[in-house]
Amino acid sequence: LAKTTQPISMDSYEGQEVNITCSHNNIATNDYITWYQQFPSQGPRFIIQGYKTKVTNEVASLFIPADRKSSTLSLPRVSLSDTAVYYCLVGMYSSASKIIFGSGTRLSIRP
């Protein structure tokens, strides 16, 4: 999988919009971008996935520029319960792929 780079940590306040950017300069043509959320002592949970432009679901939005060398996870109006670690993964999953996690971004939301 393409190597990813994310900020180690971010802080924000309840009600704010939070944007977490992930750099993936070596992304391949067939690679998708997937974000996962992990709470302490739990397994990661799928948030959103995209290939290009913009994807939105009930939880977040994912913005991907034309060159696809980066992506931004946008969390609207965060709450305390959004405090978690967010991982950006880039790749094409198949039975031959290894799923390697980067360091992730530790997001802390304050009242």
Partner 1 sequence: GAVVSQHPSRVICKSGTSVKIECRSLDFQATTMFWYRQFPKQSLMLMATSNEGSKATYEQGVEKDKFLINHASLTLSTLTVTSAHPEDSSFYICSASSTGGGLNEKLFFGSGTQLSVL
Start-to-end CA span in the chain (Å):
37
- Shortest distance, CB of residue 49 to partner 1, whole angstroms? 6
**Distance between CA atoms of residues 28 and 48, nearest Å:** 19
* Residues of this chain, 41-70, that bind partner 1 according to CB under 8 A: 41-46, 49, 51
Choose the binding region for partner 1 from 14-22, 28-36, 59-67, 68-76 (rule: CB under 8 A): 28-36
Find all residues with CB under 8 Å of 103, minimum gap 6, and list them: 6, 8
Count the site residues for partner 1 by CB under 8 A.
24
- Shortest distance, CB of residue 88 to partner 1, whole angstroms? 11
